[in-house]
Amino acid sequence: MADERILDSIHARLDRPLVLIGMMGSGKSRLGRMLAEALDLPFMDSDEEIEKAAGCTISEIFERYGEPFFRDRERRIVARLLENGRGVIATGGGAPMQPETAEAIWTRSVSIWVRTELSLLIERTGRNGNRPLLKGGDPAEILKGLAAVRNPVYERADIVVDSHGGPAASIMNDALQRLDGYLAAQNRKGASRDAE
Ligand code: S3P
């Protein structure tokens, strides 16, 4: 159970959507759903929204229309979801690699990087074959290459949460504590700016 005081304190200060970013298999959607439930906020998943709008799966979109088409839909959907105000948005792993999307995430949300070790990403993504980017070669090598390019971008997030192999509840509590700490620090910065 999340600490009620932390939940109240987050509620009092949060004025933007929370956006979860990170590699495929990092557990963004799972953590996002848990955070949304704990904070009683709507949950949105950019991949699910893209699938709903296209009427087919992400794999089918890649096969039929190619990656550029998917990236275009992703950019538009994330921009739309960011307009919905408070809520929790899980994004696909490649979303912040589009400069326009990254800029929108950095400026219009509180961003959370769900950081995960490569070995866990390999294990988790290996459980199902719904990641089209991993089909063109050795999934472990592809993930390693993507992480090398993407981690420096993910690092720009406001908050970093380690998604280790431990209990989901402890990862969520860690995320809530970090979020509370971040919002409190932002609040203090705002107060000292006002006093100047
Ligand atoms: C992608 C990650 C996937 C999905 C698509 C591309 C990526 O989402 O958007 O397959 O570029 O890393 P998840 O991160 O939710 O797996």
Mean pLDDT of 107-119: 97
Model confidence band, residue 194 (pLDDT cutoffs 50, 70, 90): confident
Query: Taking 90 as the threshold, does the pLDDT of residue 69 lie above it?
Result: yes
- At residue 2, the pLDDT reads 74
- Global confidence as pTM: 0.96
Indicate which atom in ligand 1 lies nearest the CA of residue 50.
9
Ligand 1 midpoint to CA 188 (Å): 36
C-alpha 58 to ligand 1 mean position (Å): 9
Residue 154 near residue 115 (C-beta atoms within 8 A):
yes
Shortest-distance atom of ligand 1 to CA 25:
16
Rounded CA gap, 1 and 61, in Å? 39
In the sheet that 18-21 helps form, which strands lie side by side, from edge to edge? 43-45, 88-90, 18-21, 110-115, 159-162
Residue 164 banded pLDDT, cuts 50, 70, 90: confident
Tell whether the model's pLDDT for residue 129 goes beyond 70.
yes
Mean pLDDT of 84-104: 97
Q: How many Å lie between the centroid of ligand 1 and the Cα of residue 34?
A: 20
What pLDDT is stored for residue 1 in this prediction? 61
Length, in residues, of the chain = 196
> Would the pLDDT of 124 be above 80?
yes
Q: Taking 90 as the threshold, does the pLDDT of residue 195 lie above it?
A: no
